[in-house]
Amino acid sequence: MASISLNNLVKAYGEVQVLHHVHGEINDGEFIVIVGPSGCGKSTLLRMVAGLETVTSGEISIGGTVVNQLEPADRDIAMVFQNYALYPHMSVRENMAYGLKIRRISKDEIDQRVNEAADVLEIRQYLDRKPRQLSGGQRQRVAMGRAIVRDPQVFLFDEPLSNLDAKLRVQMRLEIRKLQQRLGVTSIYVTHDQVEAMTLGDRLMVLNGGYVEQFGTPIELYDRPATVFVAGFIGSPSMNFLPANAENGSITFKNGASIDGAANVSGSITFGVRPEHLVPDDSGSLRVSIQLFEQLGANTLLHGVLEGTESDVVVSLPGHSNPSPGAVMSFSVPSDLQHLFDEKTGKRIDA
């Protein structure tokens, strides 16, 4: 087990800088998820920790030791890849044992570790099969088993569930979380799926264009997003954003409608509200013209526009609702569920 320190990390390919002064402290036994859109640098950051990419500047420490110059094999890490990376000509047992065999671990210890990992992952009955005889979920378990037998200081997961169908992804992410809690190994997990990130991570590092937008617990990012980007990326459906002006404790939208807001905020702002926090209210100031709805069973999503503007609005209501297209519904927003952002910088305004 080990803590990890990312200190002012920069990664550049020639003149193109893809990671910009990334900093973060990861505690021993913590499960950290690096999340962001494609091309934001999250896999590059993971590969730098693994030693598969060089560090342009800054330091990476694992267990108090700076590892910038250490080879991947000397960092005491185990990595699970998106494509499983299993040897097709080897059995499951041989795949799991291979890394230990080349380290000259005794056969008895190899057998013990493989059997224990197979029991944990419930794949003992597949040990003599070849990868082609396994389903996608079973192959991913084998890839995880190969990492577990290493008994490393750190687990690294590079979008390991991307190739699985939706139902199996839910099942496997729960198994990964339970496994990490049982083993207590410090883990870094990369994904572009914010739902996966919210359900797995003790803390989330949100990357955007190579910059860390926010690093905190899932609830911190949901309740108090630091930027418009984080607010729009975390939460499903995404937060609604409406251009507005704040003055004297009132927030006025482009159509002239106004609601009570923070008394100490003034000027042009971006007003944010999550779809589930819009409250149906006949006397509410936010009037939304409904265009269509989606019934999801437990809740209904209403899609429309703020009356008198071109601003799209999504509303999430519990239960079943089927308003007619073109119907206008009124909503209010509790003051403690309003999110205000600087119009120019996109940064959160603390009211």
Q: What is the DSSP letter of 106?
A: -
Q: Alpha helices of the chain — where are they, by DSSP H?
A: 42-50, 92-102, 107-121, 136-148, 166-183, 194-200, 218-223, 228-233
Tokens of 156: 């690294």
Per-residue pLDDT band at 351 (split at 50, 70, 90): low
CA distance 81 to 113: 21
What is the pLDDT at residue 41?
94
Is residue 118 within 8 Å of 150, Cβ to Cβ? no
Confidence at residue 337, expressed as pLDDT on a 0 to 100 scale: 94
CB 88 within 8 Å of CB 131: yes
Query: Would you state the structure tokens that stand for residue 328, as one six-digit string?
Result: 């206008």
Structure tokens at 288: 């939304």
Q: Which long-range contacts (CB under 8 A, 24 or more apart) does 304-309 make?
A: 304/329, 306/242, 306/253, 306/254, 306/255, 306/257, 307/255, 307/257, 308/254, 308/255, 308/256, 308/257, 309/242, 309/253, 309/254, 309/255
What mean pLDDT do residues 52-68 have?
A: 95
Q: Where are the domains of the chain?
A: 4-232, 237-342
- Cα 94 from Cα 87, distance rounded (Å): 9
Q: What confidence tens digit (pLDDT) does each residue in 112-169 have?
A: 999 988 888 888 999 999 999 998 888 888 988 888 888 889 999 998 888 777 787 8
Query: What is the percent of the chain where pLDDT is above 70?
Result: 99
**pLDDT at residue 140, as a whole number:** 84
Single-letter code of the amino acid located at 342: D
**pLDDT reported for residue 5:** 97
Distance CA 307, CA 310 (A): 8
Which residue type sits at 235? G
DSSP letter assigned to residue 266: -
pTM here is 0.89
Looking only at the bridges linking them, the beta strands covering 31-35 and 186-191 are parallel
Cβ-based neighbours of 65, under 8 Å, separated by 6 or more: none
Phi, then psi, of 314 in degrees rounded to 5: -115, 135
C-beta of residue 14 within 8 angstroms of C-beta of residue 4: no
Reading the block at residue 19, the tokens are 């990671």
Confidence of residue 1 (pLDDT cuts 50, 70, 90): low
DSSP character for 127? T
Half-sphere exposure of 215 (CA within 13 A, CB side): 13
Gap between the Cα atoms of 245 and 235, Å rounded: 25
Whether domain 237-342 has CATH 2.40.50.140: the reply is: yes
- The CATH number of the structural domain formed by 4-232 is 3.40.50.300
pLDDT at 19: 97
- Reported confidence tier of residue 242, pLDDT bands at 50, 70, 90: very high
Which two three-digit tokens encode residue 295? 């019934």
